Chain A
């Protein structure tokens, strides 16, 4: 799908002699930093529980180990009840990443399902699904999550994953739907249809593979959201407080007054871990964005000609030929959405 931009094109003979730089070398620097940062935490999540020096819940009764600052035997100090902060961190990273990964997986699957279905059904059903998506986008998720999880008697990992996934699909569904609409009428899809391919085959073999970068970006975004939301939920106390995650670490630090007692080593490591994982994900996503949209790329890809920075223009996206093909009911439903402003309908034509 990636067209070679004319500005970078070399003669084929030259290109063959040159050693093509590996995929990794061609990635934007931001994406590399993000991937490395994230990789470190994933590694910590995988091996963490095995290398943790202590049992994270073990309360050392020695009085001088209550809120002891970092030193040799406890590299990140201890909590008020003498628990080892480093061990809690190593175990906690795994639980938080595991939750975020599964939420990302389930929610992205849901958003692809809703987005593709919506774009393919078209007409009234499309507008009904879009309306539903827009409604769940505008209703704030965190308070609803708190009510839902508050009523659940078992606030385990699985329950949290399911409830979080159930509320975080609309973002992805929106972009997947827009992209599906854009490529639905392309020639290769029409060709597949003419050859008698069944719809589900067109969707799984022609449409979805062409949306991989979009789906990847949506997955990364959902993981980012899930980490933030699960940590915030745990911080409020809507989670299983007997398990160790980055959020529950912060909850206990806050409720046992780590801040007022000056025990920075207790709340800084989990918070910093959340922030660094988040930064890694944002960097990775920006990198994916820049791969897809050359205009966003750093000045490195631009060339200085006659004192001005010029960038290769990106290929014009094929968009919105379908906008005017709505039926009456569908058009009526669509006119309630904010994006109806962007249509080229009577309103803007009348000028």
Chain B
């Protein structure tokens, strides 16, 4: 079986674990969605309890097994249940509204940070002990700052004090969302500061990791042999050292992507950016359990897909993955 197919199967298993955990949490934990709706609307009669149970699907009719099957069936049809705080709306419609904002912003910014950080890491690793190494403690400081705190500082300095950037929101309030120039340029302008936050806080991590792998790779015999042959140093750096150092870096990217996305979601709150993060805040403040769970599943799926893409890149970059496909 080709490497990529095996990985795909692994992600299916991971998704199934996430779905199953998600299924059992509300059944194992105290507190439920019906109670939170009843608390939100105090004028509801106690007789409404049963009706709400049926509507929100939390009354747990039938055996655990039949509940589980119908739950999986619902998820498979992107039915994440009914929202509690914005009551008649379905969770999936809320997710569809907010998901594009987050994917475009966080996706682009993360890829930029990874590429720039890796490039800087190559240079820092090659010129070990050079100028870039001297800024390392500063970078570690940047890396240790929570995304959202960095966002607070940037808003304070660049939006409130100096008005260079807007303080928040995804676009100008006066505009109607759509595919026209005004809206797109406004959306891009509003996303610059959040994107800058993600890039600046996550770049240090990629750079440090790449630098360390580069230093270890440069000590390998084949790199020394390439230098001894008198190859141009650019060729030695990129074709011999960096290409091999890139593989652990890509694997690290796969593992870290969930962490980066989580950080970015919290950051969205600072900017009141109309993405999943703000939705998550609203879900938490209004005890909206179906929405919280829907968001958990969607983020998990996004991270799994990102990991699958990383594996595809590994297949392209690593000959071992291809020879396995040829022979297996």
Give the Cβ gap from B122 to chain A, nearest Cβ, in Å.
Answer: 16
Chain B 127-174 interface residues, beta-carbon cutoff 8 Å to A: 128-129, 133, 137, 140-141, 143-146, 148-149, 152-153, 155-156, 160, 167
| Contact indicator B9/A336 (Cβ below 8 Å) | yes
| Contact indicator B140/A282 (Cβ below 8 Å) | yes
**Residues in A neighbouring B129, C-beta threshold 8 A:** 298-299, 302, 309
Bin chain A's interface residue count. Answer: 35 or more
| A281 and B299 contact, Cβ closer than 8 Å, known pairs A151-B31, A346-B327 | no
Across the interface, name the chain B residue whose C-beta is closest to A138: B14
Give the Cβ gap from A241 to chain B, nearest Cβ, in Å.
Answer: 11
Q: How far is the CA of A144 from the CA of B295 in the complex (A)?
A: 9
Q: How far is the CA of A33 from the CA of B141 in the complex (A)?
A: 12
Across the interface, name the chain B residue whose C-beta is closest to A344: B320
**Residues in A neighbouring B303, C-beta threshold 8 A:** 138-140
Across the interface, name the chain A residue whose C-beta is closest to B324: A347
Q: How far is the CA of A184 from the CA of B274 in the complex (A)?
A: 52
Instruction: Describe A's contact surface by its main secondary structure.
Output: helix
At the interface, yes or no: B89 with Cβ under 8 Å from chain A?
no
Instruction: Describe B's contact surface by its main secondary structure.
Output: helix
Across the interface, name the chain A residue whose C-beta is closest to B277: A236
Total residue contacts A-B, CB cutoff 8 A: 205
Chain A 222-266 interface residues, beta-carbon cutoff 8 Å to B: 224, 228, 231-232, 235-238, 250, 254, 259-260, 262, 264
Q: How far is the CA of A8 from the CA of B323 in the complex (A)?
A: 43
At the interface, yes or no: A146 with Cβ under 8 Å from chain B?
yes
| A282 and B143 contact, Cβ closer than 8 Å, known pairs A232-B266, A338-B251, A347-B327 | yes
> Which residues of A are at the interface with B, using a C-beta cutoff of 8 A?
30, 33, 131, 134-144, 146-148, 150-153, 224, 228, 231-232, 235-238, 250, 254, 259-260, 262, 264, 267-268, 271, 274-279, 281-283, 286, 289, 293, 295-296, 298-299, 302, 309, 311, 313-314, 335-338, 340-342, 346-348, 350-351
> Which residues of B are at the interface with A, using a C-beta cutoff of 8 A?
1, 3, 6-7, 9-11, 13-14, 17-18, 21-22, 25-26, 29-31, 128-129, 133, 137, 140-141, 143-146, 148-149, 152-153, 155-156, 160, 167, 212, 215-216, 219, 251, 254-255, 258-259, 261-263, 265-266, 269-270, 280-281, 283-285, 287, 289, 292-293, 295-296, 299-300, 303-304, 307, 311, 314, 318, 320-321, 323-324, 327-328
A-B residue pairs in contact (CB < 8 Å), sample of 16: A138-B14, A138-B258, A139-B14, A140-B300, A144-B300, A147-B289, A150-B287, A235-B269, A259-B156, A275-B145, A279-B140, A337-B10, A338-B251, A338-B314, A346-B328, A347-B327
Known: A135-B13, A250-B148, A274-B149. 19 other contacts (CB 8 A): A135-B14, A138-B11, A138-B254, A138-B304, A140-B258, A143-B262, A143-B300, A150-B283, A151-B289, A231-B146, A267-B149, A275-B149, A282-B143, A283-B137, A298-B133, A336-B13, A341-B324, A347-B327, A348-B320
